Chains A and B, each alone.
Chain A
């Protein structure tokens, strides 16, 4: 069980793992030794509490590691302000999605109009088969290009964000002179 518990600790962010993993395993081993003296129900409750605790704790720490939950106090011009450590606008993803929906909506509207006029032209000339307007392909092309650009942009943003987070986090947790602080 200790090996399994140690594996579960890999779900925590590296900084948390580096600082607390050994201690957590020590405490788990001590608590497990005590739980082993109880009955089956007690042992089951112990393992359930421990594993759910680790899973929920890891999830919470991961969220905190990407600054979803905890703002940081910083001194700015003599006054303390609270802000998240992430300075990249997180709203950009939402904005990109909103813009994508608007553009796709507009394209769909234009296509609807062009399709309507296409039908009108066909009804006026019944012997001629319906032909898509020449700009139809162009609009579809723009939509595809826009979709691809959005997907690539989102992927690049995610990679840059992850790299920035991991680097900043490692630097933030780095203690140059741990002895000097004690």
Chain B
């Protein structure tokens, strides 16, 4: 995964979920589902595949959660990950703006 390539919707939702606060696996799963209004439902396999790639790219970090009895791990967005997320949001804003202009031009006689 490089900064230049557009990130997929599940990955974007995971990053958005972690932008607010550090979360553990199940919390990310639920937050993604909630944010997408139950449209995107990640399986654990998909979630941990994405988390592994994000960890490898240094976009998130992994820490032991406060609730150590369950061996939970918290995931946090790094500065690099936040920067990538901001870039992606800018890209989407630009795309939405362009789409708005094109659709408006189409509607005019």
Which A residues are within 8 Å of any B CB, using their own CB? 16, 19-20, 22-24, 26-28, 30-31, 49-50, 52-58, 60-61, 70, 182
Bound Cα distance from A16 to B43, whole angstroms: 16
Could you list 29 A-B pairs, sorted by A, with CB under 8 Å? Answer: A16-B52, A20-B51, A23-B25, A23-B48, A23-B73, A24-B25, A24-B44, A24-B45, A27-B25, A27-B29, A28-B44, A31-B26, A31-B29, A49-B41, A50-B44, A50-B45, A52-B43, A53-B42, A53-B43, A53-B44, A53-B45, A53-B46, A54-B43, A54-B45, A57-B46, A57-B48, A58-B45, A60-B49, A70-B56
- The answer, among B24, B25, B45, B56, for a CB contact under 8 Å with A57, is B45
Summed over the interface, the residue pairs from A and B with CB atoms below 8 Å come to a total of: 62
Is B47 part of the binding interface, using a Cβ–Cβ cutoff of 8 Å?
yes
CA distance A182 to B73 in the complex (A): 13
Residues of B within 8 A of A31 (CB): 26, 29, 44
* Bound Cα distance from A30 to B29, whole angstroms: 11
The reply to whether A26 and B25 contact each other, CB–CB distance below 8 Å, is yes
Residues of B within 8 A of A19 (CB): 52
Kindly provide the distance from the CB of A150 to the nearest chain B CB, expressed in whole angstroms. Answer: 36
Whether a CB of chain A sits under 8 angstroms from the CB of B109 is no
Output the least CB separation between A99 and chain B (Å). Answer: 36
Q: Which of A20, A22, A54, A56 contacts B52 (CB 8 A)?
A: A20
**Is the beta-carbon distance between B49 and A182 smaller than 8 angstroms?**
no
- Please give the distance in Å from A178's CB to the nearest CB on chain B: 10
